[in-house]
Each structure stands twice: as C-alpha cells, then as structure tokens.
C-alpha cells in the first residue's frame, strides 16, 4: 500500500536541512518498525518521496511525504507509531492511502501559503498601503539569481494574494502570502520579503518567524490540499 503523510515541522526542527529532515524521517520509520518497501537493484533504498523542500529556518504546518509499504496498515496505527518515535521536531497530523500510480506531488503542487510574523515600527496603515501597491501593480520586475547568472523576471503573476491578519500574537504583525510554488512557476518567499522591505524602506523581517502553512493545488480560484486527491 502507498500512504501520503502530512506532517508539521516545529520550532525544534526549523534548522534541519532537507537532507537531515529526510534522514530523520527514515530513522523514525525504522524505529516505528514500519514495513517500508525497498527498491530493486544493486543499491536498494526505501520507496519514500517528499514534496517541495522546506527552506532552512522555516517552520511548517503542512508538509508531505509518501511511502510504500510491503503490507497493509491502518492509517491511525501508522500515525500513532510514527508520533511515538518522533522527536519534537516532527509531528504527523494526517495519513491517507493513495493509488500506487498517482501523479507525483511535485507535479501537482503549484501554490504555497506562508505566514510571516514580524515586529515593525511602522503603522498598520503603512504596511497595508505597501500590500495594496503590490497587488495593484501590473508588473513587478526583480533580479532573480541562479547558479549561472542573474536575470530579470516579472513576479507579479506569481503573487496570488497578500494580507495582514487581524490576530497579532505577542504584538507581532502577521503577513499572509499566497504565492506560486511549484516545479514550473515558483516564487521564493525571500524574494517577496525583499520586495516588501524595499517598498517600505525598513529591514522589518530580520528576526521574522516564517511558517509555510501548506502546499496546495490551485485551480482557478479554488485551492485544494494534497489530501483532497
């Protein structure tokens, strides 16, 4: 059977790199004595795949991996066994059986929602005006760096929505960003925050806590989670 697993990355795990996170989950599966199927060939490895990597320093509420088992297992039992063997850094929240040949997660995901908690001397009205200016722009050109070169790109079509949440935990502002995030079109949250700071002319995100709320499939105005498929 093939399972899709949704999990959280807590403050304790925010400085785990993607490879470290992968190794940690593999260790959890072994400790929990989950019957993971191995690939064939001279170098067999667990049939385990992950969605989009999480940036170092970020927490997350809705990350995903998929694993193929050699035998059937109740979803509740799988969840309990993993959480009993998990460190504080990782918490499994939902498990669902999926079809063996279902479309890969990376090819489905095209959207992410982020919450950025920060403190700023600026008034809420000033922050809101920056958001309005960004959303009302037809074109936003930035320089995007790759390993080989630097090129200009219009990121406005990659910004689906921006807003300040009403709740202010610990007297912090919380910026919610809904942006393109996938294998074909992708906007780094760091590029968006740099744009925001340039417009407001303040380094307001130096100590921000960035949480990836979830990875989604956006179809028109509808946004669905991977657990909907």
Residue-wise pLDDT tens digits, 22-40: 999 999 999 999 999 998 8
Same domain, 122 and 97: no
In 3D space, the residue among 198, 182, 181 whose CA is nearest the CA of residue 142 turns out to be 198
Angstrom distance (rounded) from CA 156 to CA 63: 26
**Domains in the chain: how many in total?**
2
Same domain, 98 and 128: no
Same domain, 6 and 112: no
The answer to whether 46 and 80 are in contact (CB under 8 A) is no
Looking at 80, 102, 124, the residue that finishes a domain is: 102
Same domain, 56 and 159: no
Region of residue 199 (phi > 0: left; psi between -120 and 50: alpha; otherwise: beta)? alpha
Same domain, 206 and 117: yes
Give the domain CATH number at 30.
3.30.70.580
Find all residues with CB under 8 Å of 120, minimum gap 6, and list them. 127, 173, 200, 202, 204
For residue 141, the SS3 value is: strand
Same domain, 194 and 143: yes
Give the domain CATH number at 160.
3.30.70.3190
Angstrom distance (rounded) from CA 180 to CA 187: 6
Same domain, 75 and 122: no
- What count of residues does the chain have? 229
C-alpha angle 41-86-9 in degrees, rounded to nearest 5:
95
End-to-end Cα, the chain, rounded Å: 16
Same domain, 217 and 129: yes
Classify burial at 199, counting beta carbons within 10 Å of its beta carbon; exposed 0-12, middle 13-18, buried 19 or more: middle
Structural domain range at position 180: 108-228
Same domain, 220 and 116: yes
Looking at 50, 84, 102, the residue that finishes a domain is: 102
Find all residues with CB under 8 Å of 154, minimum gap 6, and list them. 139, 140, 141
Same domain, 113 and 220: yes
Find all residues with CB under 8 Å of 157, minimum gap 6, and list them. 180, 185
pTM of the complete model: 0.93
- pLDDT tens string for the chain (229 positions)? 999 999 999 999 999 999 999 999 999 999 999 999 998 878 888 999 999 999 999 999 999 999 999 999 999 999 999 999 999 999 999 999 998 888 899 999 999 999 999 988 878 899 999 999 999 999 999 987 777 888 899 999 999 999 999 888 888 899 999 999 998 999 999 999 999 999 888 889 989 999 999 999 999 999 999 999 8
Looking at 102, 124, 153, the residue that finishes a domain is: 102
Same domain, 37 and 136: no
């Amino acid at each position: 059977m093939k399972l899709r697993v949704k999990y959280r990355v807590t403050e304790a795990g925010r400085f785990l790199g993607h490879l470290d996170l992968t190794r940690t989950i593999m260790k959890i599966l072994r400790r929990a004595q989950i019957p993971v199927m191995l690939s064939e060939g001279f170098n067999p490895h667990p049939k385990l795949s992950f969605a989009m990597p999480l940036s170092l320093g970020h927490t997350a509420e809705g990350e995903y991996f998929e694993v193929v088992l050699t035998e059937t297992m109740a979803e509740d039992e799988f969840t309990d066994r993993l959480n009993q063997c998990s460190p504080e850094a990782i918490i499994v929240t939902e498990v669902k059986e999926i079809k063996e040949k279902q479309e890969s997660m990376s090819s489905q995901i095209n959207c992410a929602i982020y919450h950025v908690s920060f403190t700023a001397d600026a008034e809420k009205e000033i922050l809101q005006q920056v958001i309005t200016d960004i959303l009302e722009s037809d074109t936003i050109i930035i320089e995007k760096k790759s390993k080989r070169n630097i090129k200009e790109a219009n990121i406005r079509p990659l910004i689906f929505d921006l807003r300040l949440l009403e709740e202010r935990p610990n007297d912090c502002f919380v910026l919610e960003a809904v942006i393109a995030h996938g294998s074909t079109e992708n906007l780094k949250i760091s590029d968006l925050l740099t744009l925001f700071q340039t417009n407001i002319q303040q380094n307001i995100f130096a100590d921000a806590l960035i949480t990836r709320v979830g990875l989604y499939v956006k179809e028109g105005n509808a946004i669905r989670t991977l657990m909907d498929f």
